[in-house]
Homo-oligomer: A and B are copies of this chain.
Amino acid sequence: MIVGLLGGGVIGAGWAARWVLNGHDVQIFDPDPEAPRKVNEVLTQARRAYAKLLTRDLPPEGALTFAPSVATAVEGAVFVQESAPERLDVKQMLLGRADEVADPSVILASSTSGLLPSAMQAGLRHPERLVVGHPFNPVYLLPLVEVCPGPATTMQVVNDTAAIYSSLGMHPLTLRKEIDGFVADRLLEALWREALWLVNDGVATTSEIDDAIRFGAGLRWSFMGTFLVYRIAGGESGMRHFMAQFGPALQWPWTKLTDVPELTDDLLDTIVSQSDEQASGRSIRELEALRDDCIVAVLQGLRAARPGGYAAGATLDQFDHHAPVDVIVDDDADRALRSPLSTMQRRVTADWLDYNGHVNDSRYMQLSSEATDEFLRSIGSGDAGEGGGSYFTAESHLAYYLQAFEGDELTVEVRVLDHDPKRLRIWTDITRNDELVATAEHMLLHVDRATGRVSSAPRPVLDMLGVVSAAHESLPMPHGAGRSIGQPRTKR
């Protein structure tokens, strides 16, 4: 499919990335001589984001060409998207030219964030094919696109446009009538104007205003809008109760902008019945659980997005700091002789369970791998290790003895079974209240990162290994060490 794009700014470049990465050919017209560089920079960001976002393979990328005119950009295209600056005259000129040269079957969509489709339809030969498709930045990642027909637009064009956007992984929201600013930007502008007042009046800085959103309501808005959120806040008595409780606040002087709709019985009835429909029979408790699960998922996502977390993810990271790893070398020889070398604790969270309702087998491998990494760091290897080398795992053998469930506290104990300058054989016991849940045995090889070849570990690491091995020499070999699959088990 060939797509014609008119305008290659932040929005146009975002469209180009979404189309190209979905395998479509893009012809883009932008008079700015810098446009090719700028569009390609956005495309690079988008490639990077998609590599993280998607598990499946993307189709081969479409071709991106820069057209010298509207006519060449539109030539052969089955869909045209205009993303020029928000000036009606500029948009009318570009769309008018496209309307002259494109086959009448070609849809002309405008990215305008606020101009009315009727104004853009005026003067077109084929106004029935013009529709607004208003996306949000970054266009290649945010799913929302408002599809807004003008009075002349056909339903066929509206439906086809929505279907095309869906095929690109977007969520089209078709509006029932045209209105300045459509729906989303009316909401965003209302908040934005209020934010400008707060700066203007010296109440808060831009950074404080941003924090007032992203550590609070913004977390909810990533998955639920205000109406559903407020319905839940109303508790057991639902939307009518919430409106009764907070309705009067609308009349309070909370903002500079006091023109407020009157909460008539009619408006109240409309809101309550639409809210009921939206909740589609789910109880407040179900909705609360859904809301909480989503907040948890968002917080955990933001914690993982950057080391130490970002925004509310950083707050969570501090709140949920791991218990420090307890490394015993030779300062407590007696304890060191009896116990394995280092331990790690981990509570089982719900995302570790599989369809059997118990911890998925691969999570034991993860636990053992994390504990082994902690151990490697404690002997001066690992990510903070000296020199250009690191231990790579060559083989692992796991045995699963008991099931573990959500909320279980699992302890991983690491010990060294054997080592030489290049090889390190590690044993981990995973226990719950001293009961053995699983074991894992790993053979690690020390690899020189520069050459990719097996090499001797640095002297300080080997010295540490010597100390800890000597302290454990008298410990018996664990049951199951060296076992292969299918061998009869020995009882522990």
Tell whether A393 pairs with B361 under 8 Å between CB atoms, given A53-B316, A218-B225, A347-B54. yes
Q: Does any Cβ of B come within 8 Å of A474's Cβ?
A: no
CB of B400 within 8 A of CB of A397, answer no
Oligomer: number of copies = 2
Within 8 A of B (CB), among A172-231: 173, 175-177, 179-200, 202-230
The CB with the most chain B CB atoms within 10 A, among A190, A223, A275, A318, is that of A223
B362 touching A383, Cβ below 8 Å: no
Assess whether B399 is in contact with A395, with CB atoms less than 8 Å apart: yes
CB distance from A146 to the nearest CB of B (A): 7
A306 within 8 A of B: yes
Residues of B within 8 A of A318 (CB): 169
* B-contacting residues, A253-291, CB 8 Å: 253-257, 259-261, 263, 267, 270-271, 274-275, 277-278, 285, 288-291
* A48 CB–B CB distance under 8 Å: yes
- Using Cβ atoms and an 8 Å threshold, which residues of chain B touch A187? 191, 194-195, 198, 209, 212-213, 217
Query: Interface 1/0s, chain A 82-100, versus B by CB < 8 A?
Result: 0001100000000000000
A323 on the B face (CB < 8 A): yes
Given A218-B225, A225-B213, answer yes or no on A311-B294 (Cβ-Cβ < 8 Å): yes
11 sampled A-B residue pairs with Cβ under 8 A = A176-B202, A185-B254, A187-B209, A199-B274, A205-B277, A206-B225, A207-B227, A218-B222, A355-B390, A356-B449, A425-B485
* 17 extra interface residue pairs, beta carbon distance < 8 Å, beyond A55-B322, A290-B310: A56-B320, A57-B345, A143-B216, A171-B312, A175-B208, A187-B195, A189-B254, A209-B227, A211-B225, A212-B225, A214-B221, A223-B311, A256-B261, A298-B298, A300-B301, A356-B383, A396-B398
Q: Please provide the 10 A-B residue pairs with the shortest distance between their CB atoms, ordered closest to farther.
A: A210-B225, A218-B221, A144-B216, A355-B383, A301-B301, A169-B319, A297-B301, A484-B484, A181-B254, A222-B222
